[in-house]
Amino acid sequence: MADIKDLETYLNEVYGPVTDWMTDFDHANPEYNENAHALWDEMRDKCPVAHTTRYGGTWLPVTHEYVSEIAYDTDRFTSRSVVVSRMKPSLAPDMPPAPIGTAPPISSDPPFHHDARRVMLPAFAPKKIAAWEGDVRALCNELLDNVEGQEVIDAAVDYAQHIPVNVIARMLGFPLEDSDLFRKFVHDVLEGVDEPVHVRQPKFDRLFDYISVQIEEHQANPREDLTSFLLNATIYDQPLSMRHVAGSIVLLLLAGIDTTWSAIGSSIWHLATTPADRERLVREPELMPTAIEEFLRAYAPVTMARLVKEDMDFHGCPMKAEDWVLLPFPAANRDPKEFADADKVIIDREENRHSAFGLGIHRCMGSNLARLELTIAVEEFLKRYPNFELSDTAGVKWSNGQIRGPRKLPVRILPNK
C-alpha cells in the first residue's frame, strides 16, 4: 500500500476530478456508473486492469477471466473488507481480524467463512424463499396502488426501493414502519465511500445502534424470524457472539437492499427505453425467466472488492499488500470472450453463465430471494403498466459507488396499445 505520511490528510482529503480513467479512475465519481459500460469496454481493450492511487491504491480488472481468477483465489486475496473506502483494516485497529471480519460471512475467509455461511444458508434455501412469493406480490401491488392514476411515477423511488427493504424487515422481524429509516442508514453507508472518515463513521454508528436496539428487543421477546434464528444459532457449539449477530444483520441489510433496488430499477429502465423488448415480454410472458437472467447479466448491480494479502505480480500488475482490488462482476458479464453479443440485451438468451451473484465461495446467499423479488416486481409492474417510457431522460439519476442502479427513474405511463 502506498506510504501514508500524514494519516489525517489521507483520511480527510477530498478527491478531485478524474484525470484519466485508466490510471486515475474513481468508482465513486458519479461519471463512473453513468458511463460504466463504455468505460469497461475501453479498459478491456486498453489495460485490462485499471489502476488508481485513490483509497490508498486500487486495481480494477475488467475481464471475466481475471475477475473469476481473483474470486476463486482466496489464498492471495482476502475478503476482510469488500467495500473500497479509505478505511483499510490496518488503519482500524479495532476491526475484527481475518478470517472473521466485521460482517460474517462476507468479510470472512476460509476456513471460518464456510462455517459462518452454513449457519445462515438454510434460511435462504430455494424452497424456504419460495414461500415468500405471495407476500412479495401483495407488496408490489400495494405500492402500485399508491401511485395509481399518476401520469408520471418514479419507478425507483416510488416502487423499486421499497420492495427489498420491506421484505427484509419482515424476515428480520423489524418494525415495518422503520423501513424508511433504515433504508436511509443503509443508503448513507453505501453511497458515501469517498467521504472523509469523520463524516462516514457516524453513519455506521447510527446503523449499528439501531440494530442493537432491535436485537435487545428480540432477546426480550423471541419469535419466529431471522433475528431470533440468528440469536439461537450456534457455531462450534457456542451461540454466535453479539458482534457476529449484529454484523450478519448489517450484512443482510447492506447486501440485500440497494442491490435488489438497483436490479429492479435497471430492468424497468431497460423496458422503458426498449419498447420492442417490453412489447415482446407482454406478448410472451413465458420469456420472463430468461429475460430476468439477461437483465441480471447486462445490468448486474454489484461490484465487490478484495484486499491483496502480500506483494505480488498479477498478470504484470505490481500489486502491493493491502491494495484494494475491485471485482466488477458487471464488467465480467459484458466480456465478449465469455458471452456472444455481450453488448446486446437478448431477452431469450439461451446460454447465460452470468456472475451477477458472484463466483466461488461467496456466491450471493440471497440470490434466491433476489430473483424472486426481481421477477415479481417486473411481472407486476408490466401487468399494471404494459406501456410506458422515460418521461425525462435527464431526470434519470444513477447511484454512486459499488452498487449500480437508477436512483431516480421518472417514467410516463402510456395508454395500453
Partner 1 sequence: MRVRVDTSKCQGHNRCYALAPELFDVDDLGTAFVLNDGVVPAGLEAKARLAEKNCPEYAIVIED
Binding residues for partner 1, rule: CB under 8 A, are: 118, 121-122, 124-126, 289, 293, 350-355, 357, 359-361, 363, 367-368
Q: Which of 364, 365, 349, 359 has its CA nearest to residue 295?
A: 349
Rounded distance, CA 260 to CA 280, Å?
A: 24
Among 43, 83, 84, 106, binds ligand HEM (CB under 6 A): 106
User: What's the closest the beta carbon of residue 339 comes to partner 1, in angstroms?
Assistant: 11
Is 117 near ligand HEM (CB under 6 A)? yes
Q: Which does residue 351 touch among partner 1, ligand HEM, none (CB within 5 to 8 A, set by kind)?
A: partner 1
- Nearest to ligand HEM by Cβ — which residue? 366
The yes or no reply on residue 153 touching ligand HEM (CB under 6 A) is no
Instruction: Please tell me whether residue 259 binds ligand HEM under the rule CB under 6 A.
Output: yes
**Cell numbers representing residue 240 in the block:** 454466535
**CB of 211 or CB of 359, closer to partner 1:** 359
The sign of the CA dihedral 271, 165, 203, 89 is: negative
Residues 259/186, Cβ–Cβ less than 8 Å:
no
Picking from 254, 255, 230, 291, the residue whose alpha carbon sits closest to that of residue 364 is 255
Separation of alpha carbons 79 and 309, rounded Å: 10
Angle in degrees, 0-180, between the axes of helices 367-384 and 242-273, rounded to the nearest 10: 30
Per CB under 6 A, the list member of 356, 376, 378, 413 interacting with ligand HEM is: 356
Give the Cα separation of 307 and 109 in Å (integer): 11
Q: Is 47 in the site for ligand HEM (CB under 6 A)?
A: no
Mark 126-162 as b/e (b = at least 16 C-beta within 10 Å).
eeebeebeeebeebbeebbeeeeeeebbbbbbbbbbb
Enter the C-alpha cell of residue 211: 440494530
Nearest distance from residue 188's CB to ligand HEM, in Å? 19
Q: Residues 164 to 203: which contact ligand HEM by CB under 6 A? A: 164, 168
- Tell the smallest beta-carbon distance from residue 133 to partner 1 (Å): 14
Task: Determine the residue type at 381.
Answer: F
In whole angstroms, give the CA distance from residue 31 to residue 400: 9
From the list 150-158, 227-235, 352-360, 389-397, the region that binds ligand HEM by CB under 6 A is: 352-360
Indicate left, alpha or beta for 333 from its phi (over 0: left) and psi (-120 to 50: alpha).
Answer: alpha
Question: From the list ligand HEM, partner 1, none, which binds 175 (C-beta under 5 to 8 Å, kind-based)?
Answer: none
Site string for ligand HEM, 276-315 (x = CB under 6 A): -------------------------xx-x-----------
Which one of 362, 372, 385, 401 is in contact with ligand HEM (CB under 6 A)?
362
Total chain residues near ligand HEM (CB under 6 A): 29
Q: Does 370 participate in binding ligand HEM (rule CB under 6 A)?
A: yes
Q: Residue from 67, 139, 215, 255 that binds ligand HEM (CB under 6 A)?
A: 255
Q: Could you say whether residue 252 binds ligand HEM (CB under 6 A)?
A: yes
Of residues 136 and 168, the one with the C-beta less far from ligand HEM: 168
Candidates 79, 81, 333, 400: give the one binding ligand HEM (CB under 6 A).
79
Q: Which residues bind ligand HEM (CB under 6 A)?
A: 71, 79, 82, 105-106, 117, 164, 168, 251-252, 255-256, 259-260, 263, 301-302, 304, 329, 356-358, 362, 364-366, 369-370, 374
